[in-house]
Amino acid sequence: MDKNFYITTPIYYPSAKPHMGHAYSSILADFFARFKKIDGHNVHFLTGTDEHGLKIQRAAENEGKDTLEFCNELSKTFRDLSNILNLSNTDFIRTTEKRHKISVQNLWQELKKNDDIYISKYSGWYSVSDEAFYSDEEIEDINGKKQSIISKSAVEWMNEESFFFRLSKWEKSLLKYYEDNPDFLSPESRKNEVISFVKGGLKDLSISRKSFSWGIQVPENKEHVIYVWLDALTNYISALNYPDMKDSLFKKFWPASVHLIGKDILRFHAVYWPAFLLAAKIPLPKKIYSHGWILSGEEKMSKSKGNILDPIKIIKEYGLDPLRYYLIKEVSFGNDGSISKERLEDCINSDLANNFGNLCQRVVSFAFKNCSGEIPSQIKFLDEDLKILEKFKTDINLIRKKIDKLDVNYYINYIVDRLFEANKYFNDQEPWKKKDDILRLNSIVYTSLEIIRKICIMLFPIIPDSSIKALKIFGMNESDINFSSIEDHMKLDFGKKINQINILFKKIEKNND
Ligand code: MSP
């Protein structure tokens, strides 16, 4: 089995401060990175900022700032957010870094060497907001203003000399690749969208701009800068020290296991990026998963629409782990979803405070009162104990398979079910009525503590801080968290002292007016 796991987020435009949509992509990527880490993989997790192109140049101009200074300031807000979100990323790349520039220029030269680049003239529509070219069929006219039908962003007419990439040449190879590698694009609906786009015919792609200078220069041609998407996509390999394909990072982690992206940037990742890689004879990533949008009302949350929600404010009000839990559980992965404070509060009260936090408190208090605050040593499991414990063992490989399919929805629902069962078990077994049958009482406490241990481990990728706090019951640290150990029913050391813990989640007083 491949024990190296490389996951990436899109690199974000530092044209404004990050919002909830960016936080969403990053938290989901962090979930997979953390899961794979506790399941024994070497994980490389990359995020960063996409700093070139007209969109950024204009944003800096609007603020009257030097472009690089502007990028420095805003890129820092994304790096800070990575810390605030408790991301476990192992690298943060900026496309203005030297390592990236070298990589992009090398890729360009590779494409040129293989005769995939030629010079011509581009005349057509361009959206600066999307940094994307659109054909006439993809444009609509709203009150005299032209915009993209898909993204609704304004477009402008572009007419200039440009280098082109022979995208059309790769049409058949791409279709064959999608067919031969059915897991390459998911979810299924997005895959079909890509296949029909490619089947509709690919035109060669303009990959340089002459009318502005904020970008990486085309090698041997000072008048052109490289198209920002060719520049940006290369980040996934420049962070692994491409062009040195013998470098240990590159050898270990390329091809990437997953590029996690939003559905807005599917075409760039599923068509252009694989075509560039095919042309440069570099292996293709294993999987591209495009998730849905965080909506504000009915619309995508985005800076240009002015409808953004600041993740930092929500975290200040409710805490980080509740937000992580909410985004993972309540926004069905792969679909669009919205954020509602009311549903967030419900998650905190019922799932986190009641079903999880309260279970930990109850069982630990009971063990302190009745088992001298120790893991009971005299135990004899009954069928009802083994049944609930064995469920984890039976399902462990299924859970791994679901994660490989990036089925977060299955994972979180699985935990919710186990929490429900655990609470029911403790209530139904009524250990408080077993004070005359110490063997039975001990066995119920042992089983309940063991379930708590297993659930805390499973919760770690979702709510890492709270999981670590709860695992202090057993004196465990982050480095002791190991997913395989949920198989084992006898992991708790007989007679070992357990620890009281502080309340994990405070209930929110709901105002029912
Ligand atoms: N810079 C490009 C990506 C280059 S990757 C080689 C870009 N940047 S972006 O900042 O506009 O958006 C990046 C990603 O942020 C989106 O693909 C998506 O993953 C996430 N989101 C931005 N707004 C979002 C929502 N409203 N909802 C969910 N995710 C969204 O595109």
Distance 262 CA to ligand 1 centre (A): 6
206 and 188 fall within a common domain? yes
Is 498 within the bounds of a domain? no
CA distance 495 to 229: 59
> Which atom from ligand 1 is nearest to the alpha carbon of 25?
19
Distance 436 CA to ligand 1 centre (A): 61
Is 512 within the bounds of a domain? no
**Ligand 1 touching residue 302 (CB < 6 A):** yes
Q: How far is CA 85 from CA 245, 251, 498, in A?
A: 32, 29, 30
252 and 123 fall within a common domain? yes
12 and 85 fall within a common domain? yes
Is 202 within the bounds of a domain? yes
333 and 345 fall within a common domain? no
Contact 261, 10 (CB under 8 A): yes
Is 509 within the bounds of a domain? no
325 and 221 fall within a common domain? yes
Domain count, the chain: 2
Contact 422, 388 (CB under 8 A): yes
**Residue reference for tokens 């186990």:** 418
**Ligand 1 touching residue 262 (CB < 6 A):** yes
Structure tokens given for 133: 């070219």
**Ligand 1 touching residue 234 (CB < 6 A):** no
User: Angle at Cα 54 formed by Cα 51 and Cα 57, nearest 5°?
Assistant: 65
- CATH code where residue 478 lies: 1.10.730.10
Name the residue of 7, 19, 20, 22 whose CB sits within 8 Å of the most ligand 1 atoms, as the mutation to test its pocket: 22
370 and 462 fall within a common domain? yes
CA distance 14 to 448: 47
By DSSP bridging, strand 208-209 and strand 221-226 are: antiparallel
Atom 25, ligand 1: which residue's CA is nearest?
Answer: 21
Name the residue of 8, 15, 25, 307 whose CB sits within 8 Å of the most ligand 1 atoms, as the mutation to test its pocket: 25
**Predicted pLDDT of residue 308:** 76
Contact 338, 294 (CB under 8 A): yes
| Model confidence, pTM | 0.96
Contact 136, 149 (CB under 8 A): no
318 and 417 fall within a common domain? no
CA distance 176 to 182: 10
390 and 460 fall within a common domain? yes
Contacts of residue 364, defined as CB under 8 A and 6 or more positions apart, other chains included, come to 449, 473, 498, 499, 500, 501
Is 67 within the bounds of a domain? yes
Distance 298 CA to ligand 1 centre (A): 18
Range of the domain at 377: 341-487
Is 508 within the bounds of a domain? no
319 and 390 fall within a common domain? no
DSSP assigned state of 194: H
Domain-terminating residue out of 321, 338, 355 = 338
Atom 21, ligand 1: which residue's CA is nearest?
Answer: 21
Is 256 within the bounds of a domain? yes
**Ligand 1 touching residue 22 (CB < 6 A):** yes
- CATH code where residue 316 lies: 3.40.50.620
Contacts of residue 359, defined as CB under 8 A and 6 or more positions apart, other chains included, come to 419, 422, 423, 426, 448, 452
Residue ranges for the chain with pLDDT beneath 70: 1, 511-513
Is 494 within the bounds of a domain? no
305 and 351 fall within a common domain? no
Distance 308 CA to ligand 1 centre (A): 13
387 and 329 fall within a common domain? no
**Predicted pLDDT of residue 447:** 98
Domain-terminating residue out of 291, 318, 338 = 338
Domain-terminating residue out of 338, 366, 394 = 338
**Predicted pLDDT of residue 306:** 75
Atom 23, ligand 1: which residue's CA is nearest?
Answer: 21
415 and 463 fall within a common domain? yes
Paired strand residues for 209: 225
Atom 16, ligand 1: which residue's CA is nearest?
Answer: 262
